[in-house]
Amino acid sequence: MLVPGLEDAVLRAAGGEAALAVQRYGEALAASARAAAPVGAPRPGQPHLREQIAWVPTGAARGELRLPVRALYTDSGTRPHVIRARTPAGLHFYSARQGRWVRTRQVRHPGYAGTHWFRRAIPAAAGAVDDPVLAAALVALAQQAATAAGFL
């Protein structure tokens, strides 16, 4: 719980409808996140980022939005960093700047600004909840959770 009492207040205010609203919002948030996620090619042997986003109910009025770690990098970006080879074969990639395939032990990655796709997905899912007050509260809770996870 990120804001003391806010989750419980939301659930009490809506009565029995709260559990349904939470589930509807969670499912809509997962669908909205899948639609907004970058479309780039998946890594070899891994499912596409969009296929890894799921809403998993964990109780009557609770659930978890499951996202892979790389979702954070594509959304929020990365700082400049060094990428080092994990194997003796080193890194092997095509360098557009040099116009050829290159093999090296490390590279200096310039960083990535991120696309903030998840930030747009949170309010887009609010339409799944009929009560506008409850929808606003669920959006606020989702934004708090996303901030705590490093997305916002």
Average pLDDT in the chain:
82
124 has pLDDT over 50: yes
* Span 74-93, pLDDT tens digits: 888 999 999 999 999 999 98
Q: Which residue has the tokens 């990639």?
A: 93
Contacts of residue 125, defined as CB under 8 A and 6 or more positions apart, other chains included, come to: 25, 28, 29, 31, 32, 139, 142
pLDDT of amino acid 1: 38
Instruction: Supply the pLDDT for residue 26.
Output: 85
Please tell me the least confidently modeled range out of 18-27, 32-41, 90-99: 18-27
User: For residue 124, what are the CA distances in angstroms to 25, 46, 52, 75, 145?
Assistant: 10, 27, 19, 16, 16
Q: Where are the domains of the chain?
A: 6-77+113-149, 80-111
Please state, in angstroms and rounded to a whole number, the distance separating the CA atoms of residues 39 and 49.
8
Of 138, 93, 96, residue with least CA distance to 146:
138
Q: Which tops the pLDDT comparison, 5 or 79?
A: 79
pLDDT digits (tens, 9 = 90+) for 48-67: 888 888 888 876 667 788 88
User: Would you place residue 71 in the very low, low, confident or very high pLDDT band (cuts 50, 70, 90)?
Assistant: confident
